[in-house]
Amino acid sequence: MPRLKELAPYFLQATEQAAIACGKLRGCGDKNKADDAAVKAMRKAFDSIPVHARVAIGEGEMDKAPMLYIGEELGKGLLDSSLPQVDIAVDPLECTSHCAFDLPNSICVLAVAPRGTLLHAPECYMDKIAGPPALINKISLGLSVEENISSAAAILKKPVQELKVIVLDRPRNESKIRTMRQLDVNVELIQNGDIVGAMRAVNGDADLLLGIGSAPEGVITAAAVKGLNGVFEGKLYFHEQSYQERAEEILQNDAHKIWNTDTLCSSKNALFIATGVCDGWLPGVQFNHDDIKTWSRIIYVETGEVKTIETIHSKNKE
């Protein structure tokens, strides 16, 4: 298996092309149309990547195509068995509605690692907690909200009232939100985008991310946080019995365990790559008269290096 860092430019092209495709639809008001454009562009880009890729966790199962479905195989390795086998966790367009209405923090994003080293699971929800390196072994999904808040405040040397905690604004998170408000925590509710929310918590723009979001984004986040030496844990959350049964079929007893960065992404030979669609954590795609500009962020998990890349694309090639 080669160092995936050497293949990063190929995977970068996949997120860039997806971002350009859906970026053309910013503000269109149709999130499904924007998502479909990103999926088609990313799938096409993978045709040129010299790997045999498998979607370990993504947007859905095969019968829900045209999404990049769980178990789908991509890359030039479909025709060449000598090429390296990798797993990808992917969200071709994170924050689809944000792209549709030109709101911040929409990104095209993936994580890639050697085959068998990313959590392979069905699409479902995931309860999550993320925080900075200082909170390693100090916070956990095995603790209550109150215990995590108390521990974070003590370690970060902040009054509880000054802790900023990012939470997806969803009914399934109401109990956590209520508890934190009773503690007088500074709760920042976000409508979408808990990958970016977790990055902000790890990097110090906030103190914690808590709450239930989607599992594919959890695996992608885990790869990034592993490279940043932060804290991330996830536990699958089933809102319907059918999702639990499918997870138990694949993972057996592990369907109910608490996962961390080393179990969600068990290899350091991994990459996190995101390209901005709308302005926010990353600048959005910029369509100029003669060219198109994209901004992306790569986290090389093995070294912890973080690189922000500005690319100029010729319109003639689009």
Question: Are both 132 and 212 inside the same structural domain?
Answer: yes
Contacts for 79 with CB less than 8 Å, ≥ 6 apart: none
Banded pLDDT at 62 (limits 50, 70, 90): very low
If we measure between CA atoms, which residue out of 85, 127, 108 comes closest to residue 35? 108
Banded pLDDT at 317 (limits 50, 70, 90): low
Identify residue 299 by its one-letter amino acid code.
I
Question: Are both 310 and 250 inside the same structural domain?
Answer: no
Please say which residue of 229, 244, 264 terminates a domain. Answer: 264
Question: Are both 239 and 310 inside the same structural domain?
Answer: no
Question: Are both 180 and 248 inside the same structural domain?
Answer: yes
Banded pLDDT at 63 (limits 50, 70, 90): very low
- Which residues constitute the domain of residue 37? 4-118+269-317
Distance CA 254, CA 293 (A): 43
Question: Are both 259 and 277 inside the same structural domain?
Answer: no
Secondary structure letter of residue 153 according to DSSP: H
If we measure between CA atoms, which residue out of 40, 43, 41, 95 comes closest to residue 214? 95
CATH code for position 60: 3.30.540.10
Please state the φ and ψ torsions of residue 301, each to the nearest 5 degrees: -60, -40
What's the pLDDT tens digit per position in 1-35? 889 999 999 999 999 999 999 999 999 999 999 99
Q: What is the pLDDT of residue 111?
A: 98
Question: Are both 65 and 174 inside the same structural domain?
Answer: no
Q: How many domains does the chain have?
A: 2
Question: Are both 296 and 251 inside the same structural domain?
Answer: no
Question: Are both 273 and 260 inside the same structural domain?
Answer: no
Q: How many C-beta neighbours within 10 Å does residue 66 have?
A: 12
Please say which residue of 264, 284, 299 terminates a domain. Answer: 264
* Average pLDDT score over residue span 300-310: 97
The answer to whether the predicted template modeling score (pTM) of the entire model surpasses 0.85 is yes
If we measure between CA atoms, which residue out of 55, 49, 129 comes closest to residue 92? 55
What's the token pair of residue 56?
Answer: 């370990």
If we measure between CA atoms, which residue out of 115, 67, 123 comes closest to residue 246? 123
